[in-house]
Chains A and B, each alone.
Chain A
Amino acid sequence: MRISELLRTALRSLRANKKRSFLTIIGIMIGIAAVITILGIGDGITQTMYDKFGNNAKQGQQTTEIYYMPDNENSTVSGFNQQDMANIDNQFGGEIRRVRIEHETANINTRADLGDVSKNVTVSLLRAAPTDVKLVAGHRLTANEMATGQAVAMMKSSLARHQYGTAQNALGTTVTVGATTYQIVGVYQDQAEYSMDGGQNKFGASFLLPKDLYYQGDTASSGNTIKLTFDQGSNAGQISKQVAKYLKKNGSAANQGSYQYEDMEKELKQFSSQMSIITKFISFIAAISLFIAGIGVMNMMYISVSERTQEIGIRLAVGATPFNIMMQFLVEAVALTVTGGLLGFLGGAGLAHLIAPLLSSSIGGGIHIHAHITMTAFLMAFGTSAAVGLIFGILPARQAANKNLIDILR
């Protein structure tokens, strides 16, 4: 008998017992759905992390960072100056496309003097007029003010009211950050420090200052972080490690602190290996649920075989071989479990897509996790459910095939 005929017969008999068939595959659906969900999220997390931090970031080039940590926490020494940049360029110019000192621009924690009051505040640095803030008093920093290097700043309204009573009163006062004293020309409505998607929001800071004034003189040409940019395909981690080693010996501030390269990729690998432990655990639970579901399938197939003894007899009498009969029941069991597996796959994929955003917002930090359902996951769902059908269907199917025709026909 042709496969298409076997399938047709199997589907008809499953449809004839819709409720029973459905109840039988619930266990398989749950087992497969659990695995697909955890795989989808796990792969999603791994992928997101690599995209964001991995040395093989997708932007077409790879970047890494090297930090400088002074031995004395309060020291103002900078780890990198222009000489260091030139040295790195000389030593590693062939392998590194670009190296530059990184300056933070958003929500920098610092001390500020408001008149004669000293406070811990956050400041964000601007290069262009801030259009994304809602003005409460005064005016926004203008492009002209920034181009001409005027020492002007904006303050957030809650701080203004707290310090000076009203927003209006804050205008004209001064704030001193580092060596520069800025005049407050505008007050803006407070914003959350993190944006809706969990990323940093620079307009959540207490003050907005012109970047060129904040980093000037020595601070502009030196810093404690450098960013290395590599061409796609180069071994960024390896080279960065060599740069850090070189700096430890020859860096301008090598004797007052240490240069560190953190291999994000290595940490990611560690993270994803933790994820794979969780995945293994869930898979183990799912395997148990699949086993129990398989026994359910076996039970149902045994019932089906004994209910359809007459049908088996008829088929044998019109020329079916015992092998045909076995295949018929085996195909039926596999059709049943594969249906459950595919439904479970859909359910699991849906669940993963629902859970991933929840996970992103609970992690925060601008990390977007998208569930990532791979072809491998699909094949796994398909293969596993088919295997359950085969393993647990074979005994009932063989019983059907071994029925004695003469006894049935009596």
Chain B
Amino acid sequence: MIKLTNINKYYRQGDHRFHVLHDINLSVDQGELVAIIGESGSGKSTLINIIGFLDDDFSGTYFYEDHPIHDYTRKQFSHLQNQNVGFVFQNFKLIREATVAENVALPLLYTGKRRREIGDRVTAVLDQVGLHGYEDQLPQNMSGGQQQRVSIARAIVGHPHFLIADEPTGALDTETSQEIMNLFKRLNRDEGTTIIMVTHDPHVAAQCERVVKIIDGRVVSDSLEVHHADK
């Protein structure tokens, strides 16, 4: 489903370029649950932003299904991104002034749906993440774990093909982390949603069927390939 070949990424810092990603080759199939681990500053966020169609400034080739993402304009991106990816961030990134229901509805509104067409879907998705009846709450009055559930509900409301999560449990305690992790595993198992998550937490990584390790912008190990090598 996702096929990255020889991806290189530079950040411009003043007049010199900073080489963040070195020749990344990575393929992810439908239905996988992938953890990306690595030290701080190794380029994990940079990588998944590219995978999630948020960043189009890279060299190399990226095929998403049959789409040559490396050739697409930002406009085509937005469309793909809206239809195919759901994002979950470490600090939740909810709109503070909007209610839970409005936050969750946002991706659907940007596909051009009417407000009254989507009420049922929003309720269903909130039920799915265990937030039944929280529609009219404001995010700022909720706990971190609850806010992350809202953010997950928002990520899956449009039936995306895959989820990108950047340290989704980074701001949560161990117990709450486990609840969120269980939610991800259930989504992956029951709905077949592909999930790619960045994490620092070894417990979280241990629960993922595939772990990709990055050091200084290079993929240094991939548990999938280890499996292949074993066979």
Contacts and interface: CB of A to CB of B under 8 A. Distances in A.
A222 B74 CA distance: 91
A321 B107 CA distance: 11
Contacts of A410: 45
B110 A317 contact: no
A19 to B, nearest CB: 16
A406 B110 contact: no
A185 B172 CA distance: 108
A321 B78 contact: yes
B106 A318 contact: yes
A54 B156 CA distance: 73
A306 interface: no
Interface string B63-98: 000000000001100110111000101000111011
Interface string A183-195: 0000000000000
Contacts of B93: 310, 313-314, 317, 409
Interface of B: 45, 49, 54-55, 74-75, 78-79, 81-83, 87, 89, 93-95, 97-98, 106-107, 109-112, 114-115, 154, 158
Interface residues of A, number: 25
A334 B115 CA distance: 23
A16 B112 contact: no
Given A5-B115, A406-B49, A324 B95 contact: no
Chain A, interface SS category: helix
Contact of B110 (A1, A4, A13): A1
Contacts of A317: 54, 81, 87, 89, 93
Nearest to A310: B93
Contacts of A51: none
Contacts of A310: 93
B49 A314 contact: no
Contacts of A313: 93
A315 interface: yes
A197 B49 CA distance: 78
A138 interface: no
A23 interface: no
A405 interface: yes
